Amino acid sequence: MDSADQLIEAIYDAVTFPERWGGVLERLCALTDATHGFLFTTAPRHDSLTAALWARHNITDRQLADYTTHFRHRDVWANAAAARGLLNRCVVRRGEELVPDAVLRRSAFFNELLRDHGMGRLCALTLSDGGELSSVQPVLSLHRPADALPFSDETVRLLQDCAPHLQRAMRLRVRLLAGRDGREEARWSGRAIDRLPMGVVLLDATGRIAGLNRAGQAMIDARDGLRLVQGRLQAEQGGEARRLAHLLEAAASAGGKGASAHRGEAADLRVSRPSGRASYLLSVLPLSPEAAGPFDDADGGGSGGGGGAHIRAVVYIVDPAAVAPGLGRRLCALFGLTAVEAGLVVDLLGDLTPAEIGERRGVAISTVRSQLRSVFAKTGTTRQSELMNLVNRCLMLPEGP
């Protein structure tokens, strides 16, 4: 395999192994008698995507830091290329074609950065393609010391021959990065939803379940008013089942569309439970086009379609009778309650009266009321109804793994 073929192979290897971009630059420097190689982006944006496209050969961390911190916007070559519209094209230019040597040597860019690091001659390839690469404006530059000969026509032709391969490799790299970031965002969304104490059910465009968090799965597993049939959420009671089916179908068909009179409006429903416990409280919400998107419950405890299924609606399910196992500990941390006071709040949430709590604990009702006054003071509430409202909000905080 000759050197040109090896170079092209190295370029495509760098798509999946980005650490090999430095090797690509090293090969180009060896073929062109360059001493330094630099791959960077000139677009105003600077984020994880653009940062991932930077690479260098024979350029130290200090040199890179000096450039990015102090000289990136004083780069006379890049500024001249931008003024001529070259950063939005795929072209090769030598330094003296962009800026006369006399002008370069008077600049702070040369005197305070390039000269001290043995650079002064440039041959650069701008890689914008009018499409996916235009937003990042990548540039590959080769350098020599200022007292060396200018880069030859042969070097220009080599970069021109490499240009389509470099563009193709960088487009693939951009797509991989975008896909990775999107999948990671979806995974984090799945993990966050999975820790909510309320049930969360995500629906696709057909009304089938695309994602289900742990709390929602537990409610369905209990078979106490809700069930899962052929991938669809159903209520067990006849009238409630028809009402829920209608709401889910309407929400899934409205979610993700453009203008809709009902899009974004939640519909609420109570679902009774054969056990006689407090009814589930459901809220069905179609999602806007901006909110509707892929969901991946990877690493989560729920079940569903996974694999980035597009969601169109969400169902929130609250169990009024549920008390999170760690609620007492959380109340202590949030409001400075003692363990006894936190236990009192948990008992009140379970619909026990102060008298019943005193009897269960073997203390006088006056003691319970004294503890309740202390809880009011620490939580900033004055009545039991206010306290219960506050605690119910605390129940909505995510649980631990």
Q: What is the widest separation between alpha-carbon atoms in the chain?
A: 98
Q: How far apart are CA 195 and CA 134, in angstroms?
A: 40
Token code pair at residue 28:
């180009």
Paired sense of beta strands 121-127 and 90-94, if any = antiparallel
- The structural domains of the chain, ordered by start, are 3-181 (3.30.450.270), 195-318 (3.30.450), 327-394 (1.10.10)
Question: Residue for token digits 């009545």?
Answer: 383
Lay out the sheet containing 209-212: strands in order across.
209-212, 199-203, 313-318, 280-286, 267-271
User: Which run of H or E residues covers position 309?
Assistant: strand 309-310
Q: How far apart are CA 78 and CA 98, in angstroms?
A: 9
Q: How far apart are CA 356 and CA 344, in angstroms?
A: 11
Q: What is the pTM assigned to this prediction?
A: 0.49
CA distances from 308 to 196, 295, 304 (A): 20, 5, 10
Cβ neighbors of 135 (< 8 A, separation 6 or more) are 43, 45
Paired sense of beta strands 121-127 and 55-57, if any = unpaired
Q: What is the DSSP string of 285-308?
A: EEPPTTT--EE--TTSS-BS--TT
Buried b (16+ CB within 10 A) or exposed e, 178-200: eeeeeeeebbebbbebbbbbbbb
Per-residue confidence (pLDDT) for residue 179, from 0 to 100: 60
Per-residue confidence (pLDDT) for residue 241, from 0 to 100: 94
Q: How far apart are CA 330 and CA 222, in angstroms?
A: 26
Per-residue confidence (pLDDT) for residue 259, from 0 to 100: 38
Cβ contact 210:310 at 8 Å:
yes
Helix (H, G, I), strand (E, B) or coil at 56: strand
Per-residue confidence (pLDDT) for residue 166, from 0 to 100: 94
Q: How far apart are CA 231 and CA 229, in angstroms?
A: 5
User: Which run of H or E residues covers position 374?
Assistant: helix 365-379
3-state secondary structure 126-142: EECCCCCCCCCCEEEEE
pLDDT per residue, tens digit, the chain (401 aa), is 467 778 888 898 888 778 889 999 999 999 999 999 999 988 776 666 667 778 999 999 889 888 988 898 899 999 999 999 999 899 999 999 999 999 999 999 999 999 989 999 999 999 998 888 888 889 999 999 999 999 999 999 999 999 999 999 888 888 777 665 555 555 556 667 777 888 899 898 888 898 888 889 989 999 999 999 888 999 998 899 999 999 999 988 875 554 333 444 678 999 999 998 889 999 998 876 544 444 544 444 444 444 445 788 899 998 877 766 678 888 898 899 999 999 998 888 877 899 999 999 999 999 999 999 999 999 988 888 888 878 877 766 666 55
Question: Residue for token digits 């500990």?
Answer: 329
Give the residue from 117, 119, 138, 136 showing the smallest Cα distance to 127. 138
Q: Name the β-bridge partners of 141.
A: 38, 124
Per-residue confidence (pLDDT) for residue 186, from 0 to 100: 55
Q: How far apart are CA 129 and CA 138, in angstroms?
A: 10
